[in-house]
Structure 1
């Protein structure tokens, strides 16, 4: 029953993670758009109140007039909505999912002997946790040391990009491709949530406390919080790609997969830059062109090669295929708790899943996962030939 319970934990945590991530990313995108769409007020009364920008909008049958103050309003309202539960819930649900799906099955999902021969799955788990902690410390250190001055944002952007490149290369040489992509996404996602926890919310709390005490808030709190919030918006699309990529083995199992990850994340950041500038009224299509070009280049480079045919024309029998499946696939695809609900422990199951088997085993070579059961190219070719011949039992 434990595997069945873990499948439910995986499903429910994944569901929760997606829901709260939508809430977090949605609010993040909205406020970046709002900041870049505000107009200077012309009403003397608004200026006297300290309003630095406002916007009139219509949505859902109503009219809205959001206003932004330079630091804070002179008379602080008693009720304030704090945007932080979306961030914390996303990180907590994501980390729980990481534990249930990857750490619990570390020997299968994290360790790939073809990449790095860990002496124990526990060491691989510890290394992945290290990526989360060190990733935040390095990123935060870069922001603290180089984030000031006229060209601080550009310097931070370059240094963070270099660090992500190094981290991606290292992860892809330590972990199975699927886990490597995921941990880089989790590393950036953890830094995003840590920005909220360590910088954005504490700065906002200090501003509120100063206002409550009748003191002048420190404008640096708002400036630092804004800086980290902007970083978060550029991390968003790269993180989303890294998280979604674990469903597409042709990406994470590709040769030089670290380069694939870096280029796709760069494309995401460039496309996000286009939209950030668009909100300011500047249509810089070159960001879309370069980002789209990178995606196309990666897609062409990863295009599957034609599958070799068997040397002899002798038909492959179902008995041969069933023997291969029993040897290489039943470790994960048997019984009620079969991975992804795909059972291959009967003749009818194998026949009914023939096309999926062909795609995952022959074309993409994604299964067995990390080739844990050492399926040979000859065996893949035999399965492919049997399916091409009609997949007859």
Structure 2
């Protein structure tokens, strides 16, 4: 009965997790596209209101005209939609699914039977530590270097190193499938923590200041935007890791940690291409083809590296042709008949 209940819990949680993840990723992709596609307003009234960019779009038979205010609108509307439940529900359902699928059966999925370096309880603690420690280190990097000159490049380089170290450790502590999944859960936890600890609190501060008639500090918008951009680069690597149970030939490879790093790097590079592509179409960025080329080259190189070794052809059996066998049989039968 316990197995049956867990199967249903797994099914329903996975269903919920996928649905909410689609909503979260979709809204993230849309707003990154929107920011990259905004053009300076033409209407003088919009300029007077403080609009910094606008976009005209058509979808589903209707025309849309979203605008963005650089810091804050002149008047706060009565109905303001907040984008955070997509993130929270995705993380909560994902953590529940991780608990039901892996933590509940840690002795099967988190402990490597070939090299049991830790007990089930220790494996659970180690898995949870990956989620927490990575967030603390990543958040510390953003706090220290995020606002410095060339801060984005410094943060990007340090986070890449941090992900590489985490991938190496995870693949040497846990079985390959669990290691890949935990890496996805680790980064996804930081994505949702960005929303919970930085993006939403900053927006709440801005709204509170507007209601109180106080001047709005633009730092909240800058920090929120920075973490939002980080989340969009994390998306494709996380999606790859979360689907890792379908990639048996990858997570079971002897150098699975390197495979994981290469695949995540390729995903981030391809995502960079799409982020910059919108700005390129408006003449703001040089053509970002090199990012797509790097991502595709890494994918092709990884596929060639992992190509199975050719199997030797089976040795041909020393069997005489059918006609020769028949003739030999007739010759043997002839003396007997005589």
Question: TM-score of the superposition, structure 1-length normalised?
Answer: 0.77
Counterpart residue number, 1:326: none
Shifted more, 23-32 versus 37-46: the winner is 37-46
Matched, 1:87 2:87: yes
Counterpart residue number, 1:121: 120
Q: Which aligned pairs between 1:190-339 and structure 2 lie closer than 5 A? A: 190-281=189-280, 282=285, 283-306=287-310
Q: Post-superposition shift, 1:306?
A: 4.5
Q: Post-superposition shift, 1:113?
A: 3.4
CA-based RMSD of the aligned residues comes to 1.6
Structure 2 distance, partners of 1:189, 1:74, is 35
Q: Post-superposition shift, 1:64?
A: 0.2
Residues 35-70 of structure 1 show CA distances to partners (whole Å, capped at 9, x for unaligned) of 000000121110110100000100000000000001
Q: Give structure 1 stretches of 5+ with no counterpart.
A: 314-393
Query: Contact (CA 8 Å) 2:103, 2:124: kept in 1 or not?
Result: yes
How many residues matched?
A: 312
Q: Post-superposition shift, 1:289?
A: 1.1
Task: Give the secondary-structure state (helix, strand or coil) at the position aligned to 2:243.
Answer: helix
Task: Give the secondary-structure state (helix, strand or coil) at the position aligned to 2:245.
Answer: helix
Q: Post-superposition shift, 1:119?
A: 3.8
Structure 1 distance, partners of 2:51, 2:288, is 29
Matched, 1:44 2:44: yes
Counterpart residue number, 2:96: 96
Question: TM-score of the superposition, structure 2-length normalised?
Answer: 0.90
Structure 2 distance, partners of 1:308, 1:78, is 73
Shifted more, 70-79 versus 130-139: the winner is 70-79
Q: Post-superposition shift, 1:304?
A: 2.5
Query: Contact (CA 8 Å) 1:118, 1:124: kept in 2 or not?
Result: no
Q: Post-superposition shift, 1:267?
A: 0.3
Structure 2 distance, partners of 1:129, 1:308, is 45
Q: Post-superposition shift, 1:168?
A: 0.3
Shifted more, 71-80 versus 88-97: the winner is 71-80
Task: Give the secondary-structure state (helix, strand or coil) at the position aligned to 1:63.
Answer: strand
Q: Post-superposition shift, 1:149?
A: 1.9
Q: Give structure 2 stretches of 5+ with no counterpart.
A: 318-338
Q: Post-superposition shift, 1:308?
A: 7.2
Counterpart residue number, 1:154: 153
Task: Give the secondary-structure state (helix, strand or coil) at the position aligned to 1:82.
Answer: coil
Structure 1 distance, partners of 2:165, 2:64, is 45
Query: Contact (CA 8 Å) 1:195, 1:229: kept in 2 or not?
Result: yes
